[in-house]
Amino acid sequence: MECLVHFEVKHKNNESKQLRGLIFLNDQQQPGDEQLLQMFRDMKFNMVIADRDTLLFKPVDPSADYVSIRIIELDMGEDRYTEDRDLKTILSNFL
């Protein structure tokens, strides 16, 4: 099964670029942290997880020309994850 990872790269000059990566998974499997980090390494982005809840990654090397990567969407064909910030805000107010 394939998982298309849609993400946004923020550069030091305040520009951002939306890119996609591909991860191959077993059936009904979600991509794990190591699979996401390996995908970024394959694309020459050496990252660490900064915030697992918001799917935010920071570069290992502070001299990199990008400051963060944030996963926007995990597209697994039928099953799709898209962050809904409004829904997240509403739910956090109830908790």
pLDDT digits (tens, 9 = 90+) for 22-42: 999 988 788 999 999 999 999
Q: DSSP secondary-structure letter at 75?
A: E
Residue pair 68/80 in contact by the 8 Å Cβ criterion: no
pLDDT for position 94: 67
> Rounded mean pLDDT of the chain?
88
Tokens 């390494």 belong to 41
Residue pair 22/88 in contact by the 8 Å Cβ criterion: no
Residue 3, pLDDT above cutoff 80: yes
Residue pair 1/37 in contact by the 8 Å Cβ criterion: no
* Domain spans of the chain, in order of start: 2-94
Q: 91 burial class (0-12, 13-18, 19+ CB within 10 angstroms)?
A: exposed
